Amino acid sequence: MTFNQKSICDQFPVLRRTVHGKRLVYLDNAATTLKPKSVIEAINHYNSEGTANIHRGVHLLSEEATDKFEKSRVAMAKFVNAPTQNEIVFTSGSTMSLNIIALGWGGAFVGKDDEIILSRLEHHSNIVPWQLLAQRVGCRIRVIPINDRGELNLSVFRELLNPRTKIVSVSAVSNALGTINPIEEICHEARKIGALSIIDGSQAMSHTPVDVQKIGCDFLVFSGHKMYAETGSGGFYGRKECLEKMPPVFGGGDMIRSVSFEKTTFAPPPFKFEAGTPNISGVLSLTPAINFINEVGFSAIQRHEHELLEYGTETLSRINGLKWIGQAEHRAGVLSFVLEGIHPHDLGTLLDQEGVAIRTGHHCAQPVMQYFKVPATARASLAIYNTREDIDALAYALRKAQEVFA
């Protein structure tokens, strides 16, 4: 579509509501994005007119649901430029995907004294599964440090790489700071020593093109609810050779070829990783979400969000007592800060009274907070439906909060 701010905002019904008598200003998009009408309609249509299980029935409703479910797999494969739709596995999202990879690949191919490299910027969902693996098998976790701008130290990363490195798992974009990491370079360096590369694409999918072949990763995880689709939807891309080697983690219906009490043989990827009934409406919501992003276009999305980020940085920098946390040279639409004399939790509550929704806390990234020596930050995160008026409302609410604490 031709970029039209009002037309885009009109597609999100929740933006019409008020909060405490004020216009809703939603700036918590790194936590979850709002849903356009097309996504809501797809979910409602399945639940009201098309409810059926998939891959099992021969009746019409089941066949229709299965067809739409597999079309979402095709759509997601095209969206990330996977060579085939069979390299897309559906799960409840990035957290579940990382746990499956850690249990499946890690459990099979990582052993005592092997090493896994993570970064200081990671969300807890890209830390805890690897710690649990380390406790089970005795491997070691190494960490890429960051600088005061919130950027990875690639020189140290290269020094960490060695023959014992089996996995490198990093985020494409930091959820806490918005730092855009050099994932192509990281995957290239990992591949040179034979290490598996895993990219957490959660914060990238709705903001920038993600091309798994260009990146050169072995796995990429994603969450639907961070790209305008339903919560509890998402999955991972896995390179064909990796999916064929990796054993299944969960057993049950729809992931088998045959079962007897003597032996079970498994279905080929991706189905051997999709035990049980999935969140069908969630997977179906991925197609209209992808269509929405494609219709707006990444060039328009990146231009608009970058302009908002610059405007937000300039506008909030005028507020006395505001300290930025992380100002990477390459950064997505995240404004992370603290305000002198006001705890972020109190700040979030006061902003809510003005209709402004931001996220406060450690953002499931406590190692980042520990580095900057703060217990929490305030985070305003941007999406395509945000406007300069939203930034102005945020600035106004921040100054009003200062008046309260004065």
- What the block records as the tokens of 155 is 């020189």
The question of whether 364 is a catalytic residue gets the answer yes
Q: Which of 9, 217, 242, 364 is catalytic?
A: 364
Of 2, 27, 23, nearest to 378 (Cα)?
A: 27
Q: Which residues are catalytic?
A: 364
